[in-house]
């Protein structure tokens, strides 16, 4: 079973627009959706309307939200990630996710398609394309 860790930008995008293609992630049978309280907070902070906040809450009913204290030594050495993105990868590793789905091209683009500490980093569209 694939365990998909959803970055804040994935949560944000799925809640932002009712017709977001990312919502197909919630329809895939046989996967577990995971995120962290850190990612949830970041997504919630960037949403604008009460409807979007309610949509995020509804989506999160089907996502395992981890309470995780970042700052551990789970990250591989030599990683070049901004400080605010390090807790995302740390939580994905901690949760034993098989994939980290992120649209964060600037932070994670150099790692797209790579597996770090057991977690394959891919943009959500690539995952959805592979698992039609």
What is the mean pLDDT of the segment spanning 22-36?
A: 96
Number of domains in the chain: 1
pLDDT at residue 69 greater than cutoff 80: no
What is the mean pLDDT of the segment spanning 15-36?
A: 95
In 10 A of CB 69, how many CB atoms? 11
CATH number of 108's domain: 3.40.50.1010
Q: How far is residue 32 from each of residues 50, 51, 64, 106, measured CA to CA in Å?
A: 27, 25, 8, 26
Q: What is residue 73's predicted lDDT score, i.e. its pLDDT?
A: 72
What is the chain's mean pLDDT, rounded? 94
List, as one string, the DSSP characters of 18-44: TT-GGGGGGG-TTEEEEEEHHHHHHHH
101 near 6, Cβ under 8 Å?
yes
Q: What is residue 77's predicted lDDT score, i.e. its pLDDT?
A: 83
Task: State the residue range of the domain holding 124.
Answer: 2-130
Instruction: Encode pLDDT of 73-113 as tens digits.
Output: 778 888 888 988 999 999 999 999 999 999 999 999 999 99
């Amino acid at each position: 079973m694939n365990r998909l860790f959803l970055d804040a930008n994935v949560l944000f995008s799925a809640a932002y627009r009712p017709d977001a293609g990312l919502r197909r992630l919630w329809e895939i049978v046989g996967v577990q959706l995971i995120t962290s309280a850190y990612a949830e907070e970041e997504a919630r902070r960037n949403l604008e309307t009460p409807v979007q906040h309610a949509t995020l809450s509804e989506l999160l009913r089907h996502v395992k939200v981890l309470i995780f204290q970042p700052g551990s030594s789970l990250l591989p050495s030599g990683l070049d990630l901004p400080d605010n993105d390090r807790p995302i990868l740390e939580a994905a590793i901690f949760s034993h996710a098989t994939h980290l789905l992120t649209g964060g091209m600037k932070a994670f683009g150099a790692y797209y398609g790579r597996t770090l500490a057991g977690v394959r980093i891919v943009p959500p569209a690539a995952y959805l394309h592979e698992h039609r």
